[in-house]
Amino acid sequence: MIDDVEIPQEVPVMTLSSAVLFPQAMMPLFIFEPRYKTMLRDVLANDRIFAVATLDERSKESTHSETPYSVASIGVVRACKQNPDGSSNLVLQGLARVEFESITSEEPYRTAKIRQLLSEPGGSKDRLAANQSRLLSLIQTQRRLGAWIPKEVIQFLSTINEPESALDLAIYTLCSSAPLKQELLETRGVLPRYEKFAAYLQSEIQRLKLDIKLKGKLDDKNIGNN
């Protein structure tokens, strides 16, 4: 858990396509654009915090104005290595959900005023704990059915004591749909967030079962002929 970091009122913003940062998650980033090189230099000289926002491709202006979703996450740079060509590889750890109140500048890089979004439990501790157990069960079922999920992921999720943190890390790691990830990031209620993600996992389980059923009739070489 990250309890000792003060949430700033204004942060630099990196807008990325199909990349959704969640609290607690570790996101690797490759910094090569001049504006983001400048941003990283400034961030490392200060509190090491910036926001990662997902490009809102529903907007007609998204391609040239890089319109972000209004809900994003801020993260803190945990490790950074500068390369000989001036680019950098870094690891950003998510801190908190935030909402952009206003864009304050675009040059030399985008900055925004933010406010932190706090989650709403929506249920008792016992129910949240039960949902965490159910979440692990669904993930284990996926793995048994052939989903490429390293056992270390399940082992790590099982060690997390905070149900919301386990949920967010599972979403970040295992959800392949960027639009759904963004929807889940914006879902402040922990129980509704769990229910939406559980429905996604169950649909993936049904897809895996169908694949197994089809492959039972045709081998991998001929499966495309069905």
d(CA 139, CA 189): 21
Which structural domains are found in the chain, ordered by start?
Answer: 10-116 (2.30.130.40), 125-215 (1.20.58)
pLDDT higher than threshold 70 for residue 60: no
Rounded percentage of the chain residues whose pLDDT exceeds 90: 81
State the average pLDDT over residues 170-188. 96
Residue whose C-alpha is closest to residue 100's, from 119, 82, 116, 79 = 116
Closest CA to 96 of 41, 165, 158: 165
Rounded Cα gap, residues 97 and 115, in angstroms: 9
Query: Burial level of 92, CB count in 10 A (0-12/13-18/19+)?
Result: buried
What per-residue confidence (pLDDT) applies to 58? 79
Report field, pTM of the whole predicted structure over 0.85 = yes
Amino acid code (one letter) for 100: F
List pLDDT tens digits, range 17-32: 989 999 999 999 999 9
**CA 25, CA 80: separation in Å to the nearest integer?**
16
Residues ≥6 apart with Cβ < 8 Å to 114:
7, 8, 9, 10, 11, 51, 74, 98, 99, 100, 101
What digits encode the pLDDT tens for the residues 75-132? Answer: 999 999 999 999 999 999 999 999 999 999 999 999 999 999 999 987 788 888 899 9
